[in-house]
Chains A and B, each alone.
Chain A
Amino acid sequence: MKNGKKTLAIILSLVMCLMLVAACAPADAPTGQGATGGGEAGSPPVTQPPALPEPPAPPREEANLAEHIEIILDNNQIGVLNPMSPASHTPGTNQTFTMIHDRLLNYNIESGEFLPALATTWHTDDYQTFILTLRDDVYFHNGDHFTAADVVFTVNHALDAAGTNVQAQWSPVETVTALDDYTVEFVLRDLNVDFYFNMTMPMTGMLNERAINEDPDLGAAVGTGAFRLREFVSNDFVTVERNDAWWGGVMPTQSITLRFIPEVAARTIMMQNGEAQICLGIGSEDMRIFTDDPDNFFITLQTVNNPQGISFNMANPITADPYFRRAVVHGINRAEVAIVAAGDWGLPPGDDEGTLWGFQTEFRNNDLPGWAFDQDLARSYLERSSYNGETVEIAAAVITNVRGAEVIQQNLSRIGINVVINQMDAPSLAAHWAAEDNRSQIVFHGFQFTLNSASARHNFVPGGAQNRANYDNAEVTRLLNEAATMTDRDEREATFMRVQELIHDDLVGKNMMWRIFGQVAANGIGGMYFPPDTHWTDFRHVYWDLDA
């Protein structure tokens, strides 16, 4: 009996091990290098602006199109379908808004031109009073006719929506008036050349007053867009169905579901099993499963507009020392940071890249000298600084940034800087980094830029939502404020170039990597539009050609 027990124990252990190995093995062993960005560790590739994606091509005329498409969202769940809620700030929510709402203007990110949408003409003489003429053939999903009164309602409603991005977009408005059913006039408090751009943001879609009064929770999802809401479960999924009466034409797919799947392994398996046709959040470790299966899948890549990097706490005695900041940036191997933090999906900035600006944000200054990785130079700066061996804290929230912080910790220890990492979740980081309670010297985070250079204000103006450095340079603030009033494009460009120079000289922070987002799609999927700025991701034209 004793021997029997031993044998049984051994057999059970072996069975467990075999189960573990069998379950963990990929369907096909990955081979070769996947179609991914980045380069080998230690040899940073030269940063090149990515080719902007072509506008989606329509399906073949004889295509056998699927009626329904499932899209898996990454960690950007949709908590609410109301742009007037602060919970609506996720990319997934913006992608849904793009499908169910229409904005007054569209934006061509390739040419920088504004395009007609609900407004057919737009005019201003002084960038303070704007007059827009609206389409007269637009209807809300509940059948109500869209008129200038809806614009007035939407804007006034947004101005009351505390703490939301939509409030920020419309905040320059002093008054909005319906001159007649199809003409609307905006008067701004101050001259503002960014106002047209604000009108193109996805959260600025037009809302229906009756729908909101009838259903405060879901009434804001009644728009004029190419798709109408069919079903929504907060933080789980949203299904939209085609609006055949849309003024812009009929979209190729009958219905689309955007589903939030928290677990990365489940997303991968859902794609493999055909439970979904597009996935926005495949882990870099799993991406090779798909690159090695070109018969069934393809991958689209884009470099995210927001730099991921460090901000120095300019209010802290250690990091307020410019020599110390120089020691830090010269002491960090950014290629190593990018590889360790994001694997193939991190692109290190080149040594000649000195600006701290969005990847595709307008007026990017590419002439500023970079901060080369040179630990001898870093040591010499450190000797000139007032640093006395104190422990320097790096705060980080998301896991890629924590990994990056660990590399920085190792790099800086080699030049004699003691670093500890304080890992926390995003709300804790925001609280931790509040100006009045600022305990870390460095934070590893994502800077937030749109394609519009005015978005630099969020990062570099006192009180800006993403000003993690507590940066307060009066000249930068003045220039950024004045830029909003400059109607001359050259003058505006020169101003933003100068702002970047000042930020560079102050060395407020340094981008450590550009994130590359990869989307997996089943073969036959077309019509996706993934620009570098996720505000303009567009699924309206998505189709699935079953015969492709």
Chain B
Amino acid sequence: MIRYVLMRILWLIPVIILVSFIVFALMELAPGTILDAILAQAEGMTPEGREQLIRQHNLDRPMIYRYGVYMLNLLQGDLGVSDHTGLDIWTMFINRLPNTLILSFTALVIGASVSIPLGIAAARKAGSITDNVIAVFSLIGMSLPLFWLGILLLLLFAQQLAWFPAGGNNHGIRSIILPALCSSVGMIAMTTRQTRSNMLEVLRADYLRTARAKGVPEEAVIRKHALGNAWIPVITAIGTSLAAQLAGSVVVETVFAWPGIGRMAAEAVMARDVTATTGVIIMTTILYVLVQLVVDIMYAFVDPRIKSQYINSVKKAKRKKPPTLAPAAAGGTSK
């Protein structure tokens, strides 16, 4: 298991190199540079100041040179400073990360606590009116544009009912409800459908029919025997949604003025801040991979078959491994 985890973490290195290069290349292709973003708001920039900025940001050098300088700094663990604000990118990211974590995990809690019971209920009463209602709402949830939904939530719960604040994160737990609700809608819709289809498959399995025939109560059939086997695809769905949210929900964070990393990335792109954009995307890539890794590890806890697969694969690897003993010792062994 440890070997598997280490391998996955090592895979991050080529991923980061590839991602950072793609970001650099895309920012290079986009019209405008950091200089243009500054010029768009400058009132009295002197020609000397303009030349200084060009040299400061190596804009007179090819992209590959700037990328090389960036990667050299990254190798030393330095994400650099923002081209636009001059602030340390790691500090900016760490300041924003808690907001995104709070938003993502609250959305996850809402999403999981709503979608799993709904999915089970839909599966248990497949074809009934309950199933159809849940199916319609899932479809709506998947189709709704987040921007539109966010505005509707604001108008209903903040303006008309005045239950929650409209923007910012300065009203404690009340601030998180609307953005988390908005973020969770897509997750609820997707996970509900996933849970329903998995449960349906499991509920038709022979071993459950046997359990029922033996007189096991229906609740116990669902809870003890069905759910355990239906979990894995659900965990995958939830894990993917969580990872996507950690990577930053630009729309939700913008509508609700939530200062998370999604907005930070969007602001960096708008300012043509290549260093900040690359830094944020590298960090969110790492987060994404780590969340997926945790999800993979959770499989082993949920399903003993997968755990045994891990163990078997490690044993196989050990068997295939050539002996690494010293020649004398190796000779002794062969005798």
A residues with a Cβ closer than 8 A to B are 4-5, 8-9, 12, 16, 19-20, 22-24, 27, 77, 79-80, 82, 85-87, 89-90, 162-165, 167-169, 171, 217, 233-237, 259-263, 265-270, 272-273, 275, 397, 424-432, 434, 448, 450, 455, 457-458, 463, 465-466
Contacts between the two chains (Cβ within 8 Å), count: 204
* A167, B49: Cβ atoms closer than 8 Å: yes
* A431, B36: Cβ atoms closer than 8 Å: yes
Please, which residue of chain A has its CB at the minimum distance from the CB of B255? A263
**Residue B167 lies at the interface, judged by CB distance under 8 Å to chain A:** yes
Question: A272 CA to B41 CA in the complex, in Å?
Answer: 31
Given contacts A79-B85, A167-B46, A458-B43, contact A273 B31 (CB under 8 A): no
- Report whether over half of chain B's contact residues are helix, strand or loop; otherwise say mixed: helix
**Residue B37 lies at the interface, judged by CB distance under 8 Å to chain A:** yes
A85: B residues at CB distance < 8 A: 84-86
How big is chain B's contact interface, by range?
35 or more
B166: A residues at CB distance < 8 A: 265-267, 269-270, 273, 275
* A168, B31: Cβ atoms closer than 8 Å: no
A269: B residues at CB distance < 8 A: 154-155, 158-159, 166-167
**Residue B56 lies at the interface, judged by CB distance under 8 Å to chain A:** yes
* B42, A165: Cβ atoms closer than 8 Å: yes
Given contacts A162-B49, A465-B44, contact A233 B272 (CB under 8 A): no
A431: B residues at CB distance < 8 A: 31-33, 36
Interface string of B48-72 (1 = CB under 8 A from A): 1110110010000000000000000
* B31, A217: Cβ atoms closer than 8 Å: no
A463: B residues at CB distance < 8 A: 47
Q: Write the nearest CB–CB distance from A42 to chain B, whole angstroms.
A: 33
Q: Write the nearest CB–CB distance from B32 to chain A, whole angstroms.
A: 4
**Residue B140 lies at the interface, judged by CB distance under 8 Å to chain A:** yes
Please, which residue of chain A has its CB at the minimum distance from the CB of B166? A269
Q: Write the nearest CB–CB distance from A347 to chain B, whole angstroms.
A: 23
Question: A89 CA to B43 CA in the complex, in Å?
Answer: 8
* B37, A270: Cβ atoms closer than 8 Å: no
Question: A468 CA to B257 CA in the complex, in Å?
Answer: 33
Task: Flag the segment in B129-137, B195-203, B220-228, B284-292 that touches A.
Answer: B129-137
B129: A residues at CB distance < 8 A: 4-5, 8
Q: List residues of B (75-127) whose CB comes within 8 Å of A's CBs.
A: 82, 84-88, 91-92, 95
Q: List 18 A-B contacts (CB under 8 A).
A: A8-B136, A16-B140, A79-B271, A85-B86, A87-B82, A87-B271, A163-B45, A165-B45, A237-B168, A263-B167, A273-B165, A273-B166, A427-B36, A427-B270, A428-B30, A430-B39, A432-B32, A465-B39
Which of A12, A80, A236, A270 has most chain B Cβ within 10 Å?
A236
**Residue B38 lies at the interface, judged by CB distance under 8 Å to chain A:** yes
Q: Write the nearest CB–CB distance from A443 to chain B, whole angstroms.
A: 12
Question: A24 CA to B167 CA in the complex, in Å?
Answer: 18
Task: Flag the segment in B6-14, B16-24, B259-267 that touches A.
Answer: B259-267
* A262, B42: Cβ atoms closer than 8 Å: no
Question: A9 CA to B140 CA in the complex, in Å?
Answer: 12
* B259, A89: Cβ atoms closer than 8 Å: no
A237: B residues at CB distance < 8 A: 168, 170
Q: List residues of B (167-184) whose CB comes within 8 Å of A's CBs.
A: 167-168, 170-171
